[in-house]
Amino acid sequence: MMTLADIGEDALIARLVALIPTGFDGEGPGDDCAVVDEGGEMLRLLKTDALVEGVHFLRDADPKAVGWKAVARVISDFAAMGGMGDRFLVTLALPGTMEVEWIEDFYRGMGKCLTQYGAKLAGGETSRVPEGSAAVISVAATGSVARGKVVMRSGGKSGDGIWVTGRLGGSLSGKHLTFSPRVVEGCWIASNLRPTAMMDLSDGLAKDLPRLARSSGCGFRFNRPAIPCSDGCDVLQALSDGEDYELLFTASAEIDTDGWKQMFPRLELTRIGELVPEAEGASLVGGWDHFG
């Protein structure tokens, strides 16, 4: 019998969304956030994400850092659409033996991130898991983006340049608990660089770049030596570690790199390749797959 490990995460999602209705006034599954058009100048963004003990964090990690990460991951997805988050819902599924102090510090970490990015906790739910099971923390949120500024994964065209912010690799040594979501940068890109497609890098460039290209109906070529690596990391780690939470985007014209340097002098912006016709594209192996 076929298992999840046999098909991997992307194929599983494709099979599941084919089984249920997904049509509504906006964009459905397949992007960093769902987009709902309620009329007016702003579009509503919807997002949900989860942290699983032993997958996204270890119990001996700083709970404040884990709390920061739980919120920052979701805010990063809003940033990848050119928007910002506002209201958050948190569901805790925990073993009864979990320490109260750990959860309180976890919430302190979440609160710090919410405060920094102008969002609020709106509610949530708690549940128990069987003893010996991993803790599961689910974070759902709403956000918004100006109608003319929303950036999907699907707008790229052959010939567009492929760009990435910051440096990649190093999540396995702790970067995944300390990153800052690129909210200001995402809004600036959407307003100033005319991106044709954008997403955040959560599963590694080797996994996410093919996703962006596929969503745009394109292939890709990339310049391996140009990939910006975090200190102490090599290109393989930059491609595959995942949880960088940098922004990956495409643009059809020469972009204002001087404006970027003036606005964000401490954050690199690197062209790493271009979109090409699908049949001419390269391939990448690596990155994080929950079931692969």
CA 110 to CA 28: how far, in whole Å? 27
Whether the CB-CB separation of 182 and 165 falls below 8 Å is answered with: yes
Q: How far is CA 93 from the centre of its chain?
A: 23
Distance CA 90, CA 42 (A): 24
Helices and strands, number each (H, E), in the chain: 7, 11
pLDDT recorded at residue 7 = 86
**How high is the pLDDT of residue 27?**
58
Contacts of 31 (CB under 8 A, 6+ apart): 81, 152, 153, 154, 199, 215
Indicate the burial class of 207 (C-beta count within 10 angstroms; 0-12, 13-18, 19 or more): buried
CB atoms within 10 A of CB 111: 16
**pLDDT 10s per residue in the chain (292 long)?**
899 889 888 888 889 878 887 765 555 567 899 999 988 999 999 999 999 999 999 999 999 999 999 999 999 999 999 999 999 999 999 999 999 999 999 999 999 999 999 999 999 999 999 999 999 999 999 999 999 999 999 999 999 999 999 999 999 888 999 999 999 999 999 999 999 999 999 999 999 999 999 999 999 999 999 999 999 999 999 999 999 999 999 998 789 899 999 999 999 999 999 999 998 999 998 887 787 7
For 145, the 3-state DSSP assignment is strand
Quote the tokens at residue 46. 């919807």
Predicted local confidence at residue 23, as pLDDT = 63
Per domain, the residue ranges of the chain are: 31-149, 161-280
Provide the pLDDT for residue 16: 86
pLDDT at position 21 is 77
Q: Which CATH code is given to the segment(s) 31-149?
A: 3.30.1330.10
Measuring CA to CA, which residue among 90, 100, 93, 97 is closest to residue 63?
A: 100
Please indicate, yes or no, whether the overall pTM of this predicted structure exceeds 0.85: yes
Say what the pLDDT of residue 221 is: 96
Question: What pLDDT score was predicted for residue 28?
Answer: 59
So what's the pLDDT on residue 165?
Answer: 98
- Residue 173: the pLDDT is 86
pLDDT of residue 56: 95
What secondary structure does DSSP assign to 228-284, as a single string? PBPTT--HHHHHHS-----EEEEESS---HHHHHHH-TTS-EEEEEEEEEGGG----
What is the DSSP pairing of strand 84-94 with strand 42-52?
Answer: unpaired
Q: Which helix (H) or strand (E) holds 162?
A: strand 161-165
- Which one is the CATH code of 161-280: 3.90.650.10, 1.10.3080.10, 3.40.50.920, 3.40.50.11060? 3.90.650.10
